[in-house]
Amino acid sequence: MGIEGVGARVARKEDKRFITGAGRYVDDMVVPGMKHAVFVRSPHAHAQIKKIDVRQAQGMPGVIGVLTGKELKADGIGNLICGWMIHSKDGSPMKMGAWSPLAVDKVRYVGDAVVVVVAETKAQARDAAEAVDITYKELKAVVDATKALEKGAPQIHAEAEDNLIFDWEIGDAKATDAAIKAAAHVTRMKIVNNRLVPNAMEPRAALGHYDKAEDHFTCWTTSQNPHVARLVMSAFYNVAPENKLRVIAPDVGGGFGSKIYIYPEEIVCLWASKKTGVPVKWVADRTESFLSDAHGRDHVSMVEMAFDKDNRITGLKVDTIANLGAYMSLFSSCVPTYLYATLLSGQYDIPAIHANVRTVYTNTAPVDAYRGAGRPEATYLLERTMEAAARELGVSPAELRRKNFITSFPHQTPVIMNYDAGDYGASLDAAMKTADYAGFAGRKAAAAKQGKLRGIGMSCYIEACGIAPSAAVGSLGAGVGLWESAEVRVNAVGTIEVLTGSHSHGQGHETTFAQLVNQRLGVPIDSVSIVHGDTDKVQMGMGTYGSRSGAVGMSAVAKALDKVEAKAKKIAAHLLEADEGDIVIENGALKVAGTDKNVPWFQVALAAYTAHNLPAGMEPGLKETAFYDPANFTFPAGCYICEVEIDPETGTTEIVQFVAADDFGNIINPMIVEGQVHGGIAQGIGQALLEGAHYDAGGQLLTASYMDYTMPRAGDLPSFKVSTSNTPCPSNPLGIKGCGEAGAIGSPPAVINAITDAIGIPDIAMPASPSTVWAAIRAAKKH
Amino acid sequence: MSDVSFVVNGRRVSGTAEDRTLLVHFLRENLGLTGTHVGCDTSQCGACVVHVDGRAVKSCSMLAAQASGSAVTTIEGLANGSDLHPVQAAFKEHHGLQCGFCTPGMIMTATDMISRHPEGLDEATVRAELDGNICRCTGYHNIVKAILAASKAMSKGVKGRAKQAA
């Protein structure tokens, strides 16, 4: 490893613009003639639209246009779709209800977009939006997924009887039932995974610009995957053909999944730009984000885990109800199915698994992938159940886990996944050592003397990342392939541009991708530029989510580098009159191995472009493209330990230590990987202690601002103790597993296991806020 | 409409704005200083923190007209030419940022915090004083580390200068 190569702790190249205020986010973009859009949103959770009167609004100062769903439909703009087909166990396709970018006949959640106002200034648009008069006939609403399934519940979409979208299963029901019947012990739990709001700090935004002269659209948008946005807006929403639509995702201020999807607003801004003849920019308020960003989680599950007399798991049966909100968001159907139930084997050798999943419409914001997406729900369910089982069986939680660990690879689980590499015992040992697990009893006793309740909890998680092998996901219903593309362009003087379909919105690709190039070609990272986020520059790509940029995106770069290197070696061999097989790349030069004969990198590049002296028949230039389609998912795994101290008088939980021991395979930049883990843990602790999206029974979101939704703040968190071990991933050329989601996946059960340990109760609801903890302590005392 | 006139990053600026215009919107839209960000509607997130007459202020909680006659420093005015401010340098060195959206507000808050604590800072104080700034990416771990390092570096600088003066 060089000082800038793979494995080096290199400070980020992109930081310069962010720390000096020179970052360029969508809201910073100014296009000549640009005007501002404000959406009129439904104040009702469920209502018929009887009448829309825009006359007064149209006459307000500065107003350019007030547009409705009827006009949008008349122009042929399509409905939003879910791009992953799931079939129910009876063979019927999922029941997708119509989702118009602007509601036409009915609204289905508070925040549903109905009318868009375009005006000279945002303030004028906001004033005019207040003057739009919509007459609604309110209908009964339902926000709880279990209640939505009951007979007589309000019907949200005509297409979905009883609000059931699909009733899906995976695994062997018969074998699992037999295992439970024959078990020496069965642990039964009801597991609730609370609804969260992703809350990237940059609110969503879109700027649509229709160029009449070229009959061409440009969309600047807060997207994690601009190419997918272009594809979907062209192929399904009828905005414009792909060659007439450029999508740019510039600096994007965090995503965490919520910026994967194509939302109504970007479609409407593009359409409204053509309709009004001006570029149209929309930027969400924070409350608008709370109301209309895709939410995450919201599962209720019943679980039965069967053990034999030696405490080995013999079967796992899961019945889950997943709330998908008012409409099916772009990838909503795969989250509670193939990203969830396929991970229910965890790190354990479980011979029989069966999961049944029902997804349900409710009058709430659409629910889709949020950091971890399905895998946090699987991990929470398993690791809470393992903890409960250890307590019921009277054995150490660590040893019960260790006894059931998968120890040989590859390992085929009963739920599709084939784990390729891992060493779960190593992570468990590392975490227990760092946490001084053995010394916990002493610390608990010392805390008790101070009147404090101390508890410890662990979680051994696994996730499937490097999303994903195209043929495999295609067979499971995905509407797209999940490969990645890369182009490596060597300039005539040897500097390099890498074009990637991955998108960085905080991950640091401008540094890590350059480190890979440095490792391979010896070119300084300052001479390597990473180009991403623009469909006019990068031909095609699938974007960044599912911890895929390293494992899939960088593997594509590696493949393109293979081709560049092969051609450069041919040129060097020709220039040095040596055999191609003897050429090696070292310290920025191509050398004949074992001699001092060499030609500097830039001279090889120059030779490729002057083309005065190339091998016979070789095309000039040095530029190569590669598409990489992964052979398998990757399987990051690890062990997290959380130790808490609770003040029984106030119910306040302090995290006194948090330990993460992860196996991410090979690592490009440990500093960046640690940062990803820190952020993920903070979001996981947020879920466990602080965060929860709450609707009242009528469907009003009670937690729609930072005054009500408790974001983790610096004072809520400790510094984290993180470490990594490495079993390289055999399924991609770089041995990378991915690290973006682990923290959010592994941490919630560790926190809740610690809290229930401290109080001595079997379960507590997330978020375990001070009032919830205080009440639990009081209730426990009564018993 | 209100007349607005103040000094921003050492440059005198003036203009007119609707009475209801917030300082943050005047900075971003009238002056093109887009380094100051808007992350919420309730003065909670701190992405918009600037310095007004040397004190950290959430520029969403102040009208542009109220800033008239003041000296305002935004993130764009913190570095000395191409020399980064020690807090900026520390955020880079300690990886105190990821997506960069909260970063300008964090850096302006941290600079103010350090100047109010010439005696130095500890982790608990830094965490408590970051109460008005929300970050969703970093878990605050490296932000805290960066602020502590900057505080240390700057107090050395102060002591060094004091020694030279003596």
pLDDT at B166 over 60: no
CB B35 within 8 A of CB A22: yes
CB < 8 Å to A719, chain B: 123, 141, 144-145
Mutate to test the interface with B, among A19, A549, A655, A676 (most CBs of B within 10 A): A19
The per-residue pLDDT for range A365-419, each reduced to its tens digit, is 999 999 999 999 999 999 999 999 999 999 999 999 999 999 999 999 999 999 9
Closest CA to B147 of A514, B156, B165, B120: B120
| 8 Å CB contact between B97 and B35 | no
Q: Is the dihedral of CA A415, A419, A425, A427 positive or negative?
A: negative
Backbone angles phi, psi at A646, to 5 degrees: -110, 135
Which residue's entry shows tokens 């205020």? A21
Could you tell me which CATH class the domain B86-160 is placed in? mainly alpha
pLDDT of B158:
62
B144–A contact, CB cutoff 8 A: yes
3-class secondary structure, B2: strand
Gap between the Cα atoms of A83 and A80, Å rounded: 9
Residues 501-520 of A with CB under 8 A from B: 505-508
What pLDDT is recorded for position B164? 56
Residue that the structure tokens 């610096």 belong to: A714
Q: What is the pTM of this model?
A: 0.97
Which of A345, A358, A20 lies closest to A172, judged by CA?
Answer: A345
A346 three-class SS: coil
Q: Is A687 on the interface with B (CB under 8 A)?
A: no
CB contact under 8 A, A714 and B131: yes
Report pLDDT for B155. Answer: 86
Whether A743 has its CB under 8 Å from any CB of chain B: the answer is yes
Give the model confidence (pLDDT) of A307-365 as tens digits.
Answer: 999 999 999 999 999 999 999 999 999 999 999 999 999 999 999 999 999 999 999 99
Which ranges in chain A are annotated with CATH 3.30.365.10? 420-465+634-783, 483-628
Instruction: Name which of A18, A123, A720 is nearest B100 (Cβ-Cβ).
Output: A18
Which residues of A fall within a CB distance of 8 Å from B78? Answer: 20
What pLDDT does A262 receive?
96
Q: Which residues contact A456 (CB under 8 A, 6 or more apart)?
A: A435, A437, A440, A444, A641, A642, A643, A644, A753, A754, A757
Q: Which chain B residues have a beta carbon less than 8 Å from that of A199?
A: 136
Angle made by CA atoms A744, A747, A753, in degrees to the nearest 5: 150
Question: Vertex A629, ends A625 and A634: CA angle to 5°?
Answer: 130
Per-residue pLDDT tens for A520-544? 999 999 999 999 999 999 999 999 9
Instruction: Tell me how many degrees the CA angle B59-B64-B68 measures, rounded to the nearest 5.
Output: 115
* HSE-CB of A719 using CA atoms within 13 angstroms: 13
Instruction: Using an 8 Å CB-CB cutoff, list chain A residues near B143.
Output: 714
Put simply, the chain A residues between 426 and 455 with a CB less than 8 A from any chain B CB are none
**B residues 30-89 lying closer than 8 A (beta carbon) to A:** 32-42, 44-45, 47, 74-76, 78-79, 84, 88
Q: Does B6 touch chain A (CB under 8 A)?
A: no
* pLDDT over 80 (residue A783): no
Give percent of chain B with pLDDT exceeding 90: 92
The answer to whether residues A749 and A379 touch, using CB atoms and an 8 Å cutoff, is yes
> Would you say residue A764 has pLDDT above 90?
yes
Q: What is the pLDDT of residues B66-117, one digit of tens each?
A: 999 999 999 999 999 999 999 999 999 999 999 999 999 999 999 999 999 9
Give yes or no for a cis peptide into A468 (omega within 30° of 0): yes
Instruction: Give the phi and the psi of residue A625 in degrees, each rounded to 5.
Output: -120, 145
- The ranges of chain B annotated as CATH 3.10.20.30 are 2-77
| Strand boundaries in A532-680, DSSP class E | 583-586, 589-592, 598-600, 623-628, 637-647, 652-663
Q: Does B122 touch chain A (CB under 8 A)?
A: no
**For residue B163, pLDDT beyond 80:** no
pLDDT tops 80 at residue A509: yes
3-state secondary structure of A611: coil
Order the strands of the A106-107 sheet from edge to edge.
A106-107, A47-53, A133-138
Amino acid of residue A285: D
Q: In what order do the strands lie in the sheet with A528-531?
A: A528-531, A496-500, A484-490, A623-628
Residue A399, pLDDT score: 98
Structure tokens at A120: 């000279």
- Cα separation values, A525 from A13, A544, A565, B63, B69, Å: 8, 22, 17, 44, 45
CATH topology of domain B2-77: Ubiquitin-like (UB roll) (3.10.20)
Asked if A256 reaches chain B (Cβ–Cβ under 8 Å), the answer is yes
Task: List, as one string, the DSSP characters of B73-93.
Answer: E-GGGTSBTTBPPHHHHHHHH
Interface touch B35/A681, C-beta < 8 Å: no
Token look-up 């180009």 returns A531
Tell me the mean pLDDT in the region A655-672. 98
Is residue A521 within 8 Å of A496, Cβ to Cβ? yes
Complete DSSP assignment for A129-176: HHH-EEEEEE------HHHHTSTTPPP--TTSGGGEEEEEEEE-HHHH
Check CB contact under 8 Å for B39 and A201.
yes
CATH of domain A483-628: 3.30.365.10
Q: Rounded CA gap, A491 and A506, in Å?
A: 27
Q: How far is A209 from chain B (nearest CA, A)?
A: 19
Please list the residue range(s) of chain B that carry CATH number 1.10.150.120: 86-160
Instruction: Give the best residue of A18, A683, A716 to mutate against chain B (max B CB count within 10 A).
Output: A18
When scoring B20, B40, B74, B122 by the number of chain A Cβ atoms within 10 A, the one with the most, hence best to mutate, is B40
CB-CB: which of B78, B136, B139 is closest to A254? Answer: B136
What is the topology classification, in CATH, of domain A420-465+634-783? Aldehyde Oxidoreductase; domain 4 (3.30.365)
In whole angstroms, what is the distance from residue A40 CA to residue A130 CA?
8
pLDDT higher than threshold 80 for residue A647: yes
Report which DSSP code applies to A472: H
β-strands A63-68, A113-119 pairing: antiparallel
Query: Most distant CA pair in chain B: distance in Å?
Result: 52
Residue of B nearest to A201 (CA): B39
**pLDDT at position A1, please?**
56
* Surface-to-core class of residue A381, CB atoms within 10 Å of its CB (0-12 exposed, 13-18 middle, 19+ buried): buried
Q: If you count residue pairs, one on A and one on B, with CB atoms under 8 Å apart, how many are there? A: 180
**Do residues A752 and A766 make contact, with C-beta atoms less than 8 angstroms apart?**
yes
Q: Do B101 and A253 touch (CB under 8 A)?
A: yes
Q: Taking a C-beta distance cutoff of 8 angstroms, is the pair A100, A79 a contact? A: yes
Per-residue confidence (pLDDT) for residue A730, from 0 to 100: 96
* Nearest to A462, CA basis, from A420, A414, A399: A420
Query: Rounded to an integer, what distance in angstroms lies between the CA atom of residue A385 and that of residue A190?
Result: 9
Q: B103-116 and B141-165 helices cross at what angle (nearest 10)?
A: 40
* Nearest Cβ partner for A675 among B36, B107, B138: B138
CB A267, CB A77: distance < 8 Å = yes
Q: Distance of alpha carbon A386 from its chain centroid, rounded?
A: 26
pLDDT surpassing 80 at residue B124:
yes
Q: Three-state DSSP class for B162?
A: helix
A394/A390 Cα distance (integer angstroms):
6
Report yes or no: A745 and A684 within 8 Å, Cβ to Cβ: yes
Across the interface, do B35 and A23 touch by the CB < 8 Å criterion?
A: yes
Confidence grade of residue A246 (pLDDT, cut at 50, 70, 90): very high
Q: What size, in residues, is chain A?
A: 783
Taking CA atoms, A496 is separated from A516, A526, A607, in Å, by 12, 10, 15
Q: State how far the Cα of B114 lies from the Cα of A417, in Å rounded to an integer.
A: 51
Name the packing angle between helices A742-759 and A670-685 (round to 10°): 40
Query: What is the ipTM for the molecules in this complex?
Result: 0.97
What is the token pair recorded at A609? Answer: 């472009």
What is the helix (H) or strand (E) element at residue A39, kind and residue range? strand A35-41
What pLDDT band is residue A782 in, cutting at 50, 70 and 90? confident
Q: A41-86, pLDDT tens digit by residue?
A: 999 999 999 999 999 999 999 999 999 999 999 999 999 999 999 9
Residue B160 has pLDDT above 80, yes or no: no
- Contact (CB<8Å) B98/A21: no
pLDDT band per the 50, 70, 90 thresholds, residue B165 = low
Q: Which residues of A touch B125 (CB under 8 A)?
A: none
**A217 HSE (CA, 13 A, CB side):** 29
Tokens of A440: 């916990």
Cβ contact A732:A634 at 8 Å: yes
